[in-house]
Amino acid sequence: MSGHDPYTPESGDPSFDVESYDVEIDYRVRTNRLEGRTIINAVATVPVSAVSIDLVGLRATRVRVDGNRRTRFSQGPRKLRVTLPHRLQAGERFSIDVAYAGAPAPRRSRWGTIGWEELEDGALVASQPTGAPTWFPCNDRPDARAPLRLSVTTDAGYLPVLTGRPTGTSLSGGRVTVTAESSVPIATYLVAVHIGAYEQMALDDSDGVRVFAPVSLRREVTRAFAEVPRMLELFAASFGPYPQEDCALVVTDDELEIPLEAQGLAVFGRNHLVPDEQRLIAHELAHQWFGNSVGIGRWSDIWLNEGFACFSEWLWFEASGGPTVAQKAAKHYARLHELPQDLLLSDPGPDLMFDDRVYKRGALTLYALRCAVGDVVFSRLLREWVETYRHALATTDDFRALAARVAGRDLDDVFTPWLDRTALPPLPRP
Ligand SMILES: [Zn+2]
């Protein structure tokens, strides 16, 4: 059992783990009304007689533990406190069935407003790191990953695009229902629903990539995503086979501040379709390996997601005839040099966890490693990293240990200055 994550101390309950989620929602676009039912199949990690579930802005109307109609519960602004019918021992299984409803809205956080968000004509989910409870009750810890079934019903004319392998679409009484299933464990922040007047569009030689956008954006979308198959090929060749059950890309009719990855899924704003933003497409795709398959169990390790995704952008630039990795490294090194050197990459703290320096210094750390061990060992390391921690949790120490093993030598001379010190080490040279 692990405790609360120090970056998100108000989220999650360490007294139980989740074995699977079953999430069913019905959403009315025009009135922004959500009715849901979520079943959490759980296992106690310690002796426990009550648990708390994260749920924000929506009201639980009925809660049952193991079908018990007399389950007692109480709700505060962030937590649903559920009394178990009797005290459970560590290792005992139980299931919590929550019916809930309300007008979903993003929650305010130190990282901005996150979670379920209304669009001009639809809705999206952008949860990282603690937005998931704005639309389904959960144990909102990054290390509590679980398989998940999802069913979303909404007004006909809209198409929900969900995390997971699609398992069905049906129309009934002016409502459309889409279902999906993830057999791989997902972190709550990586579960997403995107609802809009979307049409599925085909890419040339797209090999399983599903693209959804308003039909008016068809031309821009197919142009902007034309290189997606090549990006996926490059990453599969560099890191190993694409690790997810689905690859869906959604473009909203709205402009979005940033695109965002979810499990087997990513969402972009219409403003991200311009040639200058190609790197963001590569970035979000790379997260399917780094962050979504190889996962972090605590937020302090965020560079394992963002540094690797940023380094993947550089690989794509080089492979597509743009600047080389060495040129990108030198450019971003020069920029970092002008910025305050007060960020500790191995533990940036909650306020700086999404700071751009985490991304760039993280990528530079990988570049420094590549310079130190050479291309052949570095490539083998990335592939072993992805394979060893496929759909599992990993830490910075795990990466350092694996790197040392693959390189056949201690690499603290590389890692310590980049990860455990704030001053910028010299620019690495190949
Ligand atoms: Zn990212």
CA of 206 to the centre of ligand 1 (A): 23
CA–CA distances in Å: residue 56 to residues 264, 415, 426: 25, 39, 46
Residue 1 confidence (pLDDT): 44
Cα–Cα distance, 288 to 264 (Å, whole number): 6
Could you tell me if residue 314 is inside a domain?
yes
Could you tell me if residue 6 is inside a domain?
no
CA of 256 to the centre of ligand 1 (A): 15
CA of 179 to the centre of ligand 1 (A): 27
CA of 176 to the centre of ligand 1 (A): 32
Instruction: Characterize the bridge pairing of strands 33-44 and 93-102.
Output: antiparallel
Residue where the block lists tokens 């997606």: 228
CA of 341 to the centre of ligand 1 (A): 21
Could you tell me if residue 360 is inside a domain?
yes
CA of 22 to the centre of ligand 1 (A): 27
CA of 359 to the centre of ligand 1 (A): 8
Burial group, residue 133, by CB count within 10 angstroms (0-12, 13-18, 19+) = buried
The continuous run of DSSP H or E covering 71 comes out as none
Cα–Cα distance, 206 to 110 (Å, whole number): 38
How many Cβ atoms sit within 10 Å of the Cβ of residue 50?
Answer: 14
Q: Which amino acid is at 323?
A: P
- The two tokens of residue 333 are 């090194």
Sheet of strand 165-172: strand arrangement: 59-65, 93-102, 33-44, 16-28, 146-155, 175-186, 165-172
Could you tell me if residue 176 is inside a domain?
no
CA of 282 to the centre of ligand 1 (A): 10
CA–CA distances in Å: residue 256 to residues 126, 208, 424: 11, 25, 32
How many domains does one find in the chain? 1
CA of 219 to the centre of ligand 1 (A): 26
CA of 354 to the centre of ligand 1 (A): 9
CA of 284 to the centre of ligand 1 (A): 6
Could you tell me if residue 70 is inside a domain?
no
Instruction: Return the CATH number at 354.
Output: 1.10.390.10
Cα–Cα distance, 107 to 382 (Å, whole number): 36
Residue 22 CA neighbour count, 13 Å, CB half: 9
Cα–Cα distance, 31 to 28 (Å, whole number): 6
The alpha carbon dihedral of 293, 298, 304, 309 has a sign of positive
Could you tell me if residue 344 is inside a domain?
yes
Range of the domain at 318: 294-419
The alpha carbon dihedral of 201, 202, 203, 206 has a sign of positive
DSSP character at residue 48: E
CA of 268 to the centre of ligand 1 (A): 12
Could you tell me if residue 54 is inside a domain?
no
CA of 296 to the centre of ligand 1 (A): 13
How many Cβ atoms sit within 10 Å of the Cβ of residue 110?
Answer: 12
Residue where the block lists tokens 């379920």: 116
Instruction: Characterize the bridge pairing of strands 209-214 and 198-201.
Output: antiparallel
Which candidate, 184, 196, 177, 201, places its Cα nearest to that of 252?
196
CA of 289 to the centre of ligand 1 (A): 11
How many Cβ atoms sit within 10 Å of the Cβ of residue 162?
Answer: 30
pLDDT in tens, the chain (430 residues): 467 999 999 999 999 999 999 999 999 999 999 999 999 999 999 999 999 999 999 999 999 999 999 999 999 999 999 999 999 999 999 999 999 999 999 999 999 999 999 999 999 999 999 999 999 999 999 999 999 999 999 999 999 999 999 999 999 999 999 999 999 999 999 999 999 999 999 887 777 899 999 999 999 999 999 999 999 999 999 999 999 999 999 999 999 999 999 999 999 999 999 999 999 999 999 999 999 999 999 999 999 999 999 999 999 999 999 999 999 999 999 999 999 999 999 999 999 999 999 999 999 999 999 999 999 999 999 999 999 999 999 999 999 999 999 999 999 999 999 999 999 999 998 8
Residue where the block lists tokens 């990690």: 45
CA of 81 to the centre of ligand 1 (A): 33
CA of 190 to the centre of ligand 1 (A): 12
Query: Measured in Å, how far apart are the chain's first and last C-alpha atoms?
Result: 42
Could you tell me if residue 373 is inside a domain?
yes
Per-residue b/e over 250-265, b at no fewer than 16 CB within 10 Å?
bbbbbebeebbbbbbb
